[in-house]
Amino acid sequence: MEQIRNFCIIAHIDHGKSTLADRLLQSTGTVNERDMQAQLLDDMDLERERGITIKSHAIQMDYVHEGQTYTLNLIDTPGHVDFSYEVSRSIAACEGALLIVDAAQGIEAQTISNLYLALEHDLEIIPVLNKIDLPSAMPEEVTDEIVSLIGCDPTDVIHASAKEGIGITDILEAIIHRIPAPKGDLQKPLKAMIFDSVFNPFRGIEVYFRVFDGEINKGDKVKFVNTGKTYEADEIGVLKLQQQPKDTIKAGNVGYIISGIKVAKEVKVGDTITHVNKPCEAVKGFENVKPMVFAGIYPVETSEFEELRASMEKLQLNDASLIWEPETSAALGFGFRCGFLGMLHMEIVQERLEREFDMTVITTVPSVQFHAVKSDGTIIKINAPSEMPEPNTISHIEEPFIRAQIITKDEFIGNIISLCMDKRGIIKNQVYLTTERVELTFELPLSEIVFDFFDKLKTLSKGYASLDYELIGFRQSTMVKLDIMLNGDRVDALSAIVHRDKAYEWGKRLCEKLRELIPRQMFEIAIQASIGTKIIARESVKAMRKNVLAKCYGGDISRKRKLLEKQKKGKKRMRQVGNVEIPQEAFMAVLKLD
């Protein structure tokens, strides 16, 4: 145990986490040049494109220091606010953390919140100033920021450039010297915590864990404490570049277990693995992951419902945080109401359905969960506008609020405060981290930030703002259900729950957006927004006037047939409501208001 070091990397997107991880793997000889793929730890295409490690992984390195071989377990952490619970579990599996800060950018909000998490878990922090080679690097300022944040000595901050290979040995030495070896009792009952899982289509779910006490052996009968399920440890091992099966994993170490689990839902991050015969107490901090954003997912082709179900089931095998149940929409037919960790998670699910399963789907207006409180105090949870009860049957509506931390340059404070006020926010605190950088704290309705808040924040601050948030509870709000009608038929998939003060503006803008997105058809289309029976906005799409090619002679017929076949195919991607054909993107129109 003395020779084990468990650590994670805390970094903002683009601050160089993945590149640094690659360098560590190279320096320790875990991978050779030939195997080296840029940004090795992010192995899903999507992750690579978005530059975000969505699902955490772990990798074990061997490092020889003064004749002694050390085992270094690097536990990767996701870098997006949608996945903060997973981050907390990865942190709980470590004794130390590398805090990577871009020397040109400074610390961002997400980094700070993860840093706080690490400090809560008593992790030893090794600050690393990355991208030191950039001409725009400001090592003194950023070092000051780090020092004032974690109270370390400026000389503790390692200067590095993962890209250029500068400072890598210093980092490895610091890991050995500064991060404490894990503590654990080999004699106690097995206590291991799950921090991640991965779906393997041939072997079922691979579960990654950290052993705190005792040891796990191949063939042991084990129990997952929170789900209560028992399994046999068919295979256990450590995670090198490839899995390396072992007979035993002892306290302090990190490993994987394969036990024939087929569904990701059975594996909950933060759950405890123990022996069936000699159980331990559960590791503290376990939570069931709660979805924050809800939306309907429908096949574009109604006949593809069963195919979509099969795809969703497969997707859920390796994405336990995705939840769904069947839902019916008058406009869209059969589909699923899904719960996501956040908007990024929603986009990822949609893209994976399209890329990995070749499904074309319509995603409806995303919504948060509202509570309708009846006069006797009972709560009805509302995950979709269609579930909104008639106003006279309830006492009031409550909506989820968050506390948001925004770090920015002081010149953008004004812009950001007016954005947050516009989003019904209340400013709670304002702290200068340095003479230029400010941390603002707001309380905001979650529904106001799920759509485009982050993009707006980035634009207003020219990219110099970062955001982190946590849920702080439900508060009473005057929410109303806004409906959209096309030629008098209500399109349930376009309904939304919005604040009364914003309903008129919302209705007006949504009608305008729909007028742009719905192509002219053979009949004029009336677009109306209403609250209850009251029409609050209207627009119309004029009837199509002309759709006919001029020439159609001998040499034109083939080409023209193909052209019209393509036109027909385009129509198939649209949804028919009454006699109106609605393109897929109209259902997402809400996201593009402005």
Partner 1 sequence: MTVALCEEIKLRQNYLEREPINTVYFGGGTPSILSKDNLSSILETIHKYFSVNHDAEITLEANPDDLNSEKLRDLYGLGVNRLSIGIQSFKEEVLHFLNRAHNRKQALNSVSEARNIGFNNISIDLIYGIPINSHEDWENDLHEITKIKPEHISSYCLTIEPKTVFGHRAKMGTLSLKGEDFEARQYELLIEKLKSIGYEHYEVSNFCLPGMHSKHNSSYWKQAKYLGIGPGAHSYNGASRQFNVTNNHKYISSLYKDNIPTQQEVLSREDKVNEYLLTGLRTIWGVDLDYLKDNYDYDLKKLKGSYVNNLIDNRFATLDANDLKLTEEGLLLADEISASLFI
Q: Which of 186, 276, 535, 557 binds partner 1 (CB under 8 A)?
A: 557
- Which span (138-146, 241-249, 494-502, 539-547) binds partner 1, by CB under 8 A? 539-547
- Which span (78-86, 276-284, 411-419, 547-555) binds partner 1, by CB under 8 A? 547-555
Q: Is residue 5 within 8 Å of 71, Cβ to Cβ?
A: yes
303 contributes a contact to partner 1 by CB under 8 A: no
Residues 490-529 contacting partner 1, CB under 8 A = 520, 522-523
Q: Which is nearer to partner 1, 36 or 557 (CB)?
A: 557
Q: Which is nearer to partner 1, 426 or 552 (CB)?
A: 552
Q: Which is nearer to partner 1, 22 or 581 (CB)?
A: 581
- Which span (68-76, 270-278, 303-311, 549-557) binds partner 1, by CB under 8 A? 549-557
Q: Which of 329, 321, 341 minimizes the C-alpha distance to 298? A: 329
Q: Which of 201, 534, 553, 594 binds partner 1 (CB under 8 A)?
A: 553
Angstrom distance (rounded) from CA 281 to CA 269: 16
Show binding-site residues for GTP. 14-19, 130-133
* Cα–Cα separations (whole angstroms), residue 448 to 99, 373, 514, 525: 31, 21, 21, 30
How far is residue 330 CA from its own chain's centroid? 30
Q: Show Cβ contacts of residue 269 under 8 Å, excluding neighbours closer than 6 positions.
A: 85, 86, 89, 194, 195, 196, 197, 289, 320
Q: Which is nearer to partner 1, 136 or 558 (CB)?
A: 558
Q: Is residue 190 within 8 Å of 216, Cβ to Cβ?
A: yes
Q: Which is nearer to partner 1, 381 or 546 (CB)?
A: 546
Q: Which is nearer to partner 1, 221 or 559 (CB)?
A: 559
CB of 361 to partner 1, least distance (A): 24
Q: Which of 239, 545, 575, 592 binds partner 1 (CB under 8 A)?
A: 545
* Phi, psi (degrees; rounded to nearest 5) at 446: -60, -35
Q: What is the dihedral of CA 249, 116, 47, 313, to 10 degrees?
A: 70
CB of 300 to partner 1, least distance (A): 17
Would you call 54 helix, strand, or coil by DSSP?
coil
Angstrom distance (rounded) from CA 455 to CA 63: 42
CB of 553 to partner 1, least distance (A): 5
CB of 301 to partner 1, least distance (A): 17
CB of 557 to partner 1, least distance (A): 6
Q: Which of 328, 230, 316, 313 minimizes the C-alpha distance to 271? A: 230
Q: Which of 169, 202, 211, 162 minimizes the C-alpha distance to 41? A: 162
374 contributes a contact to partner 1 by CB under 8 A: no
Side-chain half-sphere exposure of 380, counting CA atoms within 13 A: 19
Tokens of 5: 């070091």
What's at 176, amino acid-wise? I
How far is residue 275 CA from its own chain's centroid? 33
Site map (CB under 8 A) of partner 1, residues 119-148, x = contact = ------------------------------
CB of 371 to partner 1, least distance (A): 43
Residues 558-577 contacting partner 1, CB under 8 A = 558, 560-561, 564-565, 567-568, 571
Tracing tokens 């793929």 back to the chain, one arrives at: 37
- Which span (276-284, 285-293, 366-374, 541-549) binds partner 1, by CB under 8 A? 541-549
Q: Which is nearer to partner 1, 169 or 579 (CB)?
A: 579
37 contributes a contact to partner 1 by CB under 8 A: no
CB of 539 to partner 1, least distance (A): 17
CB of 579 to partner 1, least distance (A): 7
Q: How many binding residues for partner 1 (CB under 8 A)?
A: 25
What is the CB neighbour count within 10 angstroms for residue 116?
13
CA angle 102, 104, 105 (to 5 degrees): 65
Q: Is residue 84 within 8 Å of 194, Cβ to Cβ?
A: no
Q: Which is nearer to partner 1, 34 or 551 (CB)?
A: 551
Q: Left, alpha or beta for 590 (phi > 0: left; psi -120 to 50: alpha)?
A: alpha
Q: Which is nearer to partner 1, 284 or 568 (CB)?
A: 568
CB of 583 to partner 1, least distance (A): 15
CB of 523 to partner 1, least distance (A): 7
No. of helices (H) and no. of strands (E), the chain = 13, 33
Show binding-site residues. 14-19, 130-133
Angstrom distance (rounded) from CA 405 to CA 444: 11
Tokens of 113: 């919140």
Q: Which is nearer to partner 1, 221 or 572 (CB)?
A: 572
CB of 543 to partner 1, least distance (A): 9
- Which span (3-11, 145-153, 346-354, 548-556) binds partner 1, by CB under 8 A? 548-556
Tracing tokens 């497969």 back to the chain, one arrives at: 314
Angstrom distance (rounded) from CA 538 to CA 56: 47
Q: Is residue 132 within 8 Å of 162, Cβ to Cβ?
A: no
Tokens of 418: 């007016």
- Which span (13-21, 183-191, 426-434, 543-551) binds partner 1, by CB under 8 A? 543-551
Q: Which is nearer to partner 1, 418 or 579 (CB)?
A: 579
Q: Which is nearer to partner 1, 392 or 558 (CB)?
A: 558
Q: Show Cβ contacts of residue 477 under 8 Å, excluding neighbours closer than 6 positions.
A: 397, 398, 399, 445, 499
**How do 396-409 and 370-373 pair as beta strands?**
antiparallel
Angstrom distance (rounded) from CA 418 to CA 460: 10
DSSP H stretches of helix in 166-219: 168-178
579 contributes a contact to partner 1 by CB under 8 A: yes
Binding stretches for partner 1 (CB under 8 A)? 520, 522-523, 544-555, 557-558, 560-561, 564-565, 567-568, 571, 579
